[in-house]
Chains A and B, each alone.
Chain A
C-alpha cells in the first residue's frame, strides 16, 4: 500500500475519532458536571454523620442540592482569619489551593444549620498525600470548633482494601467522631492515626489501618497541616459569640 494511502487512512481515522469523541463528550458534559457537583456535596454532607437528619444514602440528588441551598452557608476564609468574599466555597479547588503558600490559600468552610435540632456544624476541607497520590477529606466540627462530629475521606489512587479503607471502611471513619483537636489547655494537638492502635481514652488518637501505614500517616499529616489553618478564623468567631 502506498504511503499516501496510509497517511490518508490515519488522517481520516483521526478526524472521525476526534469528532465522535467530541460529540459524545459534549452530549454528556452537562449532566456529568451536575453529577460531579452532587458527588462533592454528598462527600461534604457525609462528614456530618449523625448531625444530618436521616441516612445520606436515602437522600436523593435533588434533596442534596436543596440542603445546600437552604441549610448550608458557604464561606471562603484565609489563614489569617479574614473572609474572601469573591469566591464561593463549592468552587474552591483544594488541589490548586494546597500548592499555594499558606497566606494565599483559600479555605472553604461550609456551615450547616440543622433545621430540626437547631445545631450548627462547621465543615472544613483538608487535602494531603497518601501512598500513591493525593487524599482529601471533609472534617465536620461542633460549635466548640474542637469536637469532631464526623469525617469523610476520599483518595485518588489508594489501594483497594488497604489505603482505600479511609473512604470505604465506615467503622474506621466512625472512630473520628467525638475526638478532639485541642487539649484541655487549648493547644492544637490534632488527631493522630496511630500504628499499633490508639491508646484507650486518648481523645487525639485513632487506630491505624493494618497494611496502610503510609496512607494513615498521610491522614495524620493532612489533618494537622490543614485544620490549624482554620484556627484564626474560628478564634474570631469564638470572640464574637
Chain B
C-alpha cells in the first residue's frame, strides 16, 4: 500500500496529491482487486444490481465519514483503545445509515438490513482508518475514504452487472436477454463473484505490470 505522508506546508484543496488519493483506489490501488480486502461482502451482495448500488452508497458514506471523524480525533484517541474507538465510529455511522434508510426508504431497508449491518465488519473501512486516517489530516482522510468506498463500489457494481445479466438475464429486474436465454444458475451462486473478480484482476494486471509485483 502506497501511503502519502502529509507535509505541514499549506496545501491546495484539490491538488495533485488529493486527486491521487481519490482516484488511486478506483483502479491501481483498488481495495478489492489490488489490496484484496472486503472480498466477503463482494461475494454476498452482488447477485443483483440494485442492492449492490445501495450497498455502494452506504459504504462510500461510512468509509468517507469514519475516515474524517477518526482523523479529526486522531490526536485524542489513546493508542491503547484506538481499534475500539474506530469500531465505535464505524458502528455509529452504520446505525445512522440504517435509521435513515428506515426513515426514507423502508422497502430498501428491509431488503438490505442484513448487509448494512455487515458494513461494520467490512475490512476496507477499518483498514483505511488504521492505515490512513490515524496518521493524516481530515480533508485528505475524507478523500481517501471516499476513494476507497467508490473503488469498492465499482467492483461491486461490475460483478453484480455480470452476475445478474448472465444469472437471470435481467438488469435491475428488467428482462434484457431474450426470453429463450437459459439462466446460468452458477452466476447466482457466490462462487461466480470469485470468477468475475479473478477475470477482473487478470485484465487489470496484464494492463498494468507494476501491480504484479505488489501482490
Contact = CB atoms under 8 A, between A and B. Distances in A.
B173 A35 contact: no
Contacts of B107: 39
Interface in B70-107: 76-81, 84-85, 88, 92, 95-96, 99-100, 102-103, 106-107
B103 A31 contact: yes
Max chain A Cβ within 10 angstroms of own Cβ: one of B78, B79, B84, B164: B78
B66 to A, nearest CB: 13
A168 interface: yes
Contact of B96 (A9, A24, A32, A157): A24
Contact of A13 (B85, B102, B173): B85
B188 interface: yes
B165 to A, nearest CB: 12
Interface stretch (B7-15, B43-51, B196-204): B43-51
A43 to B, nearest CB: 10
Contacts of A162: 188
Given A28-B103, A35-B103, A39-B110, A160 B51 contact: yes
A42 to B, nearest CB: 8
B88 A32 contact: no
Q: Range of interface residues on chain A?
A: 20 to 34
Given A1-B80, A6-B81, A39-B110, A20 B103 contact: no
A154 B99 CA distance: 21
Interface in A7-48: 9-10, 13-14, 17, 20-21, 24-25, 28, 31-32, 35-36, 38-39
Nearest to A9: B78
Interface string B184-214: 0100110000000000000000000000000
B102 A161 contact: no
Contacts of A10: 81, 84-85
Interface string A150-167: 000010110111100000
A99 interface: no
Interface in A156-200: 156-157, 159-162, 168
B114 interface: yes
Interface of B: 45, 47-48, 51, 76-81, 84-85, 88, 92, 95-96, 99-100, 102-103, 106-107, 110, 114, 163-164, 167-168, 173, 185, 188-189
A84 interface: no
Contact of B77 (A9, A35, A159): A9
A161 B78 contact: no
7 contacts: A1-B80, A21-B92, A21-B99, A24-B99, A36-B102, A160-B51, A161-B167
Interface string A212-232: 000000000000000000000
A5 B76 CA distance: 10
Main SS class of interface, B: helix
Contacts of B168: 161
Closest 7 CB pairs of A and B: A35-B106, A161-B47, A161-B188, A28-B103, A32-B102, A6-B78, A160-B47
A5 B173 contact: no
Given A24-B96, A157-B114, A210-B185, A1 B102 contact: no
Nearest to B105: A35
B87 to A, nearest CB: 11
Nearest to A170: B173
B79 A1 contact: yes
A161 B114 CA distance: 15
Contact of A32 (B95, B99, B114): B99
Contacts of A25: 99
Nearest to A160: B47
A25 B92 CA distance: 12
A13 B48 contact: no
Given A10-B81, A161-B164, 17 more contacts: A9-B78, A13-B88, A17-B88, A21-B95, A21-B96, A24-B95, A24-B99, A28-B102, A31-B103, A32-B99, A32-B103, A32-B106, A36-B102, A39-B110, A160-B51, A161-B167, A161-B168
A39 B106 contact: yes
Contacts of A115: none
Nearest to B99: A28
Contacts of B77: 9
